[in-house]
Structure 1
Amino acid sequence: MRQKFTDKERDVETGLDYFVARYYASVQGRFTSADSVSGSMLNPQTLNLYAYVNNNPLRLIDPTGHEAKDSRNDVSTAGKPSNSAIRRAEWEAQAYAVIE
């Protein structure tokens, strides 16, 4: 086993990445078994139970193979302002500058 991009172990014999709950085939860009967490009609991307991070690997992470999570809410970003908070602060600063 060796570490790959997602910091998951890759089985040298099968070429599959181990995500605790299931294996991921990076060549296919999908898991090899269905997700045990059901999808939601509110987010159609979750209905594909074989998809990795709802087909959005640039923004989402899936540390366990069960559920996609927003990478901006990851522990590594805890305590840091989000992009939306920064944009709002910039907007408010510009609004106050116009008022003055």
Structure 2
Amino acid sequence: MDRLGSRCPLPGCPRPSVLLCLLILTASFLTYPMLRTLSQQLLSVVTGSYVSGTYSIVFVNCPNEQIARDIARAILDKKLTASVNILPKASSLYYWNGEIEEATEILLVGASF
């Protein structure tokens, strides 16, 4: 009988190395999606490139519809987004120079995947 098998007090008990392997395989299987996502995001940041399997949604407020269309066409021409939606008349409230300001803007929504 080998040394590891002799440590188990119950007959038929698996050796500790088998239990350790099963534990590691189970932990790897359960954490794989999270680790894969984190590694893709890290690669994207380090290389400055797009990594397949990552998703982005961008919201941009524009002062008027013409500027929104110009931005939408520019990012579509460069294939930086899959689609752009232009939503008219978004009300924005924000701080500017210590005061609360209100403006009507055009909301530009872009999605890439």
TM range (shorter): under 0.3
Q: Name the structure with the higher strand share.
A: 2
More helix by percentage = 2
Q: Which structure has the larger Rg?
A: 2
